[in-house]
Structure 1
Amino acid sequence: MKSWPKVALSEIAPIIRRPVEIRQDQAYPELGIRSFGRGTFHKPSLSGADVGSKRLFRIEPGDLVFSNVFAWEGAIAVASPVDTGRFGSHRFITCVVDDDRANATYIKLYLTTSQEGRAQVLQASPGGAGRNRTLGVEKMGLIPIPLPPLAEQQALVAHLDALAEKTRQVEAHLDAVERDVEHLLALRFRDAIADVPLLPMAKVAPLVRREQSIDLNGSYPELGIRSFGKGTFHKPPLSGGEVGTKRLYRIEPGDLLFSNVFAWEGAIAVAQPEDTGRFGSHRFITCQANPELTTAEFLRYYFLTDDGMLKIGEASPGGAGRNRTLGLEKLMAIEVPTPPLAVQQTFDRLQTEVAALKAKHTAIREANAALLPATLERIFSAGATAHA
């Protein structure tokens, strides 16, 4: 196994500051650094007057740049040519890498992606819990960097760039496939509801309430509904004492659920078998599809279309922002398309197939996202040694 010597960061990438003299009549476009090693971004320009007494420092392409408050969560980047002419505040630590000994991208990958590198940055960022941590300049300079020969660093970066490009291609392909299947669903749904009768919700999926009696010694796991049609999620259980005078209602698989405060932004779902035994507060509207007229999944899809969301919005009066509440009577009065039950069931089977496809894509995306970090971890753990 190869072994790589470790060299202090300050030896191969010393801090360089390029202070700027602020002029009132000039503009100063700032640079930002995304966390988790995701590169730089461009902030709006500040006028000299906006800068005021704030200190700015010029950033050059190739600089290894740290956010001193977010470095511990991977806000470390290499400035690229598109960042030319940008500036950073005193909270940016800018290092210039010795090109004869090290590759800036290699160092950035080690510090943001490898377990050992992230731990070193965290250790150099003392502070309290959460985000109240600041990277210390002296401690940062002492971080040991495993340093293979420069040619090996460059080859490693080139290999990882190629791997990253492959993962981007996979993501793009999955996105394209999902856009196609969503378009297919929309076309099939359009055909399914063409020239069909409209019936009120009160008839096709009336409100159902299953109020739960509360035992002070009982446990009541609640259900939540994600906005934008993203399904249900599980909340921690409440004890009977925590429920207090709050009213809870039992939810059954197959129920069509609406959050009365967020339905207008798509907090609409169908309870699944894994939601059995969960409860919703009075803010949950629970409807039960009439099995002779409709299916809950068909209705869910309809309400998440533009036409369905428009009707939900009209039934959710209130002020701007999130201060809107779906009215029970208004919901029950909404007229929904009711094609023959067999047509709805055929469409639901297609929805199930699409959901299964997306689940497979999710697993691929998770494996894809883990590939680069796993490769880096394997490389660094195999090549680094403890000696300087």
Structure 2
Amino acid sequence: MNISPDIFKPFILKDLIARVSNPVTVKKNVFYTQIGIRSHGKGIFIKDPVNGEELGNKRVFWIEPNCLIVNIVFAWERAVAKTTSDLNGLIASHRFPMYKIIDHVDLDYLTHYLLTPKGKKLLEDASPGGAGRNKTLNQKDFLESQILLPSLTTQQYISNFLLMLEKRIQLQQQKIDLLQEQKKGYMQKIFKQNNLTWKSIKLQDVFEERAERGYNHYDLLAVTLSQGVTDRTDIKKDTSSEDKSNYKRVLPGDIAYNSMRMWQGASGYSKYTGIVSPAYTILKPKEDVDSLFFAYLFKTDFMLYEFKKYSQGLTSDTWNLKYPLLKDIKVKIPSYVEQKGYLIFY
């Protein structure tokens, strides 16, 4: 889709949109459902209902349909969305101002625009302050911002095209979600622990801990819930320490896991040579052990329960599973040949 730049004209946002607000008269014994807005254009989510007494003196407003809605605390992270009639009867705090279209702009186009790099810069420029919660959107500066727009007809054409793509993405995501559920079901059957031919072992019988440090020149790796062990360059946000002398070496075939999130499935088989944060534990497979088989086994409900049971800490935020605790976990496994055979399913 090619749009000639010469058809774009400058506009000031205050000439295109106007703030709307319908305050809620909060009653103590009435339940209200609030909304929130995720950053990075990930949309609106609905919170659990609360009664008026819990809301207290909080200023809240009825959701108006067909509006641009902004989270002023995280506008700089593109926490913007479009309201719909599905949200009628829900409320939002004063931190979520809503704007109606008044002239020459398509709501879907404007919402998509604010999610682009140029839109992000506009929101950042109107959000002075330091990092995080101090970067609050100045609504006056926001409305004084300039935006370049094509004709309304062109805006609507672009919006319809983008909405069509979004619907296709949603359909594909639904298919992926169904396949993930199907895979999870198969995993529970394949790795079930009531197989009479499998032998019972402790994890220390098949893995030892790798705690090798001093490999600062190696690439940085990460362990995530969804992707397992991955190259850190695939993750945009880098929170690693500048001094990596204490970081641990990972080799291909190792299993690395987040000691505080093992019970949630934050582990994975490594295809890479690299280093990870000292917060991770590295499992080095012993002879005649297929670590990829164990990487899948560690994601099953049974193993996640075992990891949770063996973790130490007062609350889930502090639960920790280091190797000295993990090594004593008992599990049933097939022979080495069978371990490799099961992997044909993956």
TM-score category, normalised to shorter length:
0.7 to 0.9
Structure 2 equivalent of residue 382 of structure 1: none
| CA distance, structure 2, for counterparts of residue 51 and residue 314 of structure 1 | 37
Structure 2 equivalent of residue 38 of structure 1: 42
Structure 2 equivalent of residue 289 of structure 1: 286
Could you list the per-position Cα deviations for residues 269-310 of structure 1 after superposition, in whole angstroms to 9, with x for gaps in the alignment? 4443x226x48869736443232xx42222333343233344
Structure 2 equivalent of residue 338 of structure 1: 334
* SS of alignment partner, residue 96 of structure 1: strand
Could you list the per-position Cα deviations for residues 171-198 of structure 1 after superposition, in whole angstroms to 9, with x for gaps in the alignment? 223333444455455545559x833141
Verify the 8 A CA contact 1:207 1:288 in the aligned structure 2: yes
Identity value in percent: 23
One-letter code of the match for 2:107? A
- Of 58, 83, 87, 2:87 maps to 83
Verify the 8 A CA contact 1:260 1:285 in the aligned structure 2: no
| CA distance, structure 2, for counterparts of residue 202 and residue 196 of structure 1 | 18
Verify the 8 A CA contact 2:268 2:295 in the aligned structure 1: yes
Q: Alpha carbons of 1:304 and 1:119: their partners in 2 closer, same or farther (altered >3 Å)?
A: closer
Which has more helix, going by share of residues? 1
TM-score with structure 2 setting the length: 0.76
Q: Using the TM superposition, give the Cα deviation of residue 80 of structure 1 relative to its aligned residue in structure 2, in angstroms.
A: 0.9
| CA distance, structure 2, for counterparts of residue 46 and residue 208 of structure 1 | 48
Structure 2 equivalent of residue 11 of structure 1: 15
One-letter code of the match for 1:128? G
Q: Alpha carbons of 1:150 and 1:176: their partners in 2 closer, same or farther (altered >3 Å)?
A: same
- Of 87, 96, 101, 2:100 maps to 96
* SS of alignment partner, residue 88 of structure 1: strand
Structure 1: stretches of 5+ with no match in the other structure: 352-388
Could you list the per-position Cα deviations for residues 68-93 of structure 1 after superposition, in whole angstroms to 9, with x for gaps in the alignment? 22222222222211222333333232
Q: Alpha carbons of 1:237 and 1:349: their partners in 2 closer, same or farther (altered >3 Å)?
A: farther
- Of 105, 112, 115, 1:113 maps to 115
Structure 2 equivalent of residue 198 of structure 1: 199
Q: Alpha carbons of 1:145 and 1:329: their partners in 2 closer, same or farther (altered >3 Å)?
A: closer
Please show how residues 139-178 of structure 1 align to structure 2 within 5 Å: 139-178=141-180
Verify the 8 A CA contact 2:250 2:282 in the aligned structure 1: no
Structure 2 equivalent of residue 300 of structure 1: 295
* SS of alignment partner, residue 296 of structure 2: helix
Q: Alpha carbons of 1:118 and 1:305: their partners in 2 closer, same or farther (altered >3 Å)?
A: closer
| CA distance, structure 1, for counterparts of residue 150 and residue 248 of structure 2 | 63
**Bigger CA radius of gyration:** 1
Q: Alpha carbons of 1:261 and 1:96: their partners in 2 closer, same or farther (altered >3 Å)?
A: closer
Verify the 8 A CA contact 1:312 1:331 in the aligned structure 2: no
* SS of alignment partner, residue 327 of structure 2: helix
| CA distance, structure 1, for counterparts of residue 280 and residue 55 of structure 2 | 47
Q: Alpha carbons of 1:54 and 1:155: their partners in 2 closer, same or farther (altered >3 Å)?
A: same
Verify the 8 A CA contact 1:228 1:265 in the aligned structure 2: no
| CA distance, structure 2, for counterparts of residue 211 and residue 116 of structure 1 | 45
2:226 aligned with 1:231, yes or no?
Answer: no
Verify the 8 A CA contact 1:12 1:101 in the aligned structure 2: yes
* SS of alignment partner, residue 15 of structure 1: strand
* SS of alignment partner, residue 35 of structure 2: strand
Q: Using the TM superposition, give the Cα deviation of residue 165 of structure 1 relative to its aligned residue in structure 2, in angstroms.
A: 0.7
Verify the 8 A CA contact 2:201 2:332 in the aligned structure 1: yes
* Greater mean deviation of Cα atoms: 225-234 or 56-65: 225-234
Verify the 8 A CA contact 2:8 2:150 in the aligned structure 1: yes
Verify the 8 A CA contact 2:208 2:284 in the aligned structure 1: yes
| CA distance, structure 1, for counterparts of residue 156 and residue 227 of structure 2 | 45
- Of 269, 273, 276, 1:275 maps to 273
Aligned-residue CA RMSD (Å): 3.8
Pairs aligned (count) = 333
| CA distance, structure 2, for counterparts of residue 281 and residue 81 of structure 1 | 49
Structure 1 equivalent of residue 131 of structure 2: 129
Could you list the per-position Cα deviations for residues 231-284 of structure 1 after superposition, in whole angstroms to 9, with x for gaps in the alignment? 3666667465xx5xxxx8765433455666554444544443x226x4886973
Q: Alpha carbons of 1:77 and 1:287: their partners in 2 closer, same or farther (altered >3 Å)?
A: closer
Verify the 8 A CA contact 2:311 2:325 in the aligned structure 1: no
Q: Alpha carbons of 1:289 and 1:332: their partners in 2 closer, same or farther (altered >3 Å)?
A: farther
Q: Alpha carbons of 1:158 and 1:29: their partners in 2 closer, same or farther (altered >3 Å)?
A: same
TM-score with structure 1 setting the length: 0.69
